[in-house]
């Protein structure tokens, strides 16, 4: 006896199945990773387009600064990567007119800046810190960075790495910091140099910096946490 054909699903029944099908797509690891990656890329693109380099992050009075002993200490591998501070040099390469190695003495010739700004960690805490150093923009001018370059890649003594959009790098509050709370930067807080970026989250502010590379193209190593799935732009 022939088997009667199964009844065709109605339009209403098909519509009822859409949420289930959508959930199946989202739960599939490959599709989920694909959607998250595209979502982050879209978010980064929008953040970069809407960033206004003429707008300042909030600055604070001295009495609003968090005490130094309450400034949390976060490190990548170790608190002290054991840099020889006497031999330390900042290696600069890429789209710059004057590549090479720069000492702390070279950087000390630039104008000094002190600012009280908020440091916000993606872990959920934030503090107002007192930072001193030289503007990252002045360092870029010193090395003759191409003003039309798109990316600044940063390498660190503890193998941490990150990269920045150049609009943030040129922002007047972006600081190459060698001092906290009026004292030389300690090893645990990133001596001899760390980035202080009041317009970015904390993971975009590397410590124990040893190298800069100015580039037009974002390389495969975009940032340690970025390569784990965090936002590349990391803005506030």
Q: What is the CA radius of gyration of the chain?
A: 23
Per-residue model confidence (pLDDT) at position 28: 55
pLDDT of residue 43: 63
> Which residue's structure tokens are 């003759």?
144
- Taking 50 as the pLDDT cut, the residues of the chain under it are 14-15, 18, 31-32
Q: How far apart are CA 55 and CA 49, in angstroms?
A: 14
CATH number at residue 182: 3.90.420.10
46 inside domain: no
Q: How far apart are CA 55 and CA 199, in angstroms?
A: 10
Q: Could you tell me if residue 8 is inside a domain?
A: no
Q: Does the residue 24 lie in any domain?
A: no
- 115 touches 131 (CB < 8 A): yes
Greatest CA separation for the chain: 96
Tell whether 28 is covered by a domain: no
Residue 110 lies in a domain: yes
Question: pLDDT tens digits for 122-160?
Answer: 999 999 999 999 999 999 999 999 999 999 999 999 999
Say how far apart CA 199 and CA 175 lie, in whole Å: 11
Place of tokens 């709370």: 181
Distance CA 38, CA 178 (A): 37
Q: Are 216 and 97 in contact (CB under 8 A)?
A: no
Domain that residue 172 falls in: 51-228
> In this structure, are residues 184 and 228 in contact, taking their beta carbons and an 8 Å threshold?
no
Structurally, the chain folds into a number of domains equal to 1
Does residue 200 sit within a domain? yes
Residue 33 is assigned to a structural domain of this protein: no
Tell me, yes or no, whether 69 lies in a domain.
Answer: yes
């Amino acid at each position: 006896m022939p088997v009667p054909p199964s009844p065709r699903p109605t339009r209403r029944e098909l519509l009822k199945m859409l949420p289930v099908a959508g959930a199946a797509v989202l739960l599939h690891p490959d599709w989920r990773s694909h959607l998250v990656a595209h979502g982050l890329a879209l978010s980064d693109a929008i953040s970069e387009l809407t960033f206004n380099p003429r707008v300042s992050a909030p600055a604070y009075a001295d009495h609003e600064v968090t005490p130094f002993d309450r400034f949390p200490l976060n490190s990548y591998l170790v608190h002290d990567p054991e840099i020889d501070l006497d031999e330390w040099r900042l290696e600069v390469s890429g789209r710059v007119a004057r590549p090479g190695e720069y000492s702390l003495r070279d950087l000390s010739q630039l104008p000094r800046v002190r600012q009280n700004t908020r440091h916000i960690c993606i872990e959920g805490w934030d503090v107002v810190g007192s930072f001193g150093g030289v503007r990252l923009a002045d360092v870029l001018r010193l090395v003759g960075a191409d003003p039309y370059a798109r990316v600044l890649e940063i390498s660190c003594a503890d193998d941490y790495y990150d990269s920045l959009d150049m609009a943030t790098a040129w922002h007047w509050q972006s600081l190459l910091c060698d001092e906290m709370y009026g004292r030389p930067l300690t090893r645990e807080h990133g001596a001899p140099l760390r980035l202080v970026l009041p317009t970015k989250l904390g993971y975009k502010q590397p410590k124990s910096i040893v190298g800069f590379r100015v580039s037009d193209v974002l390389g495969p190593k975009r940032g340690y946490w970025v390569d784990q799935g965090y936002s590349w732009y990391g803005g506030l």
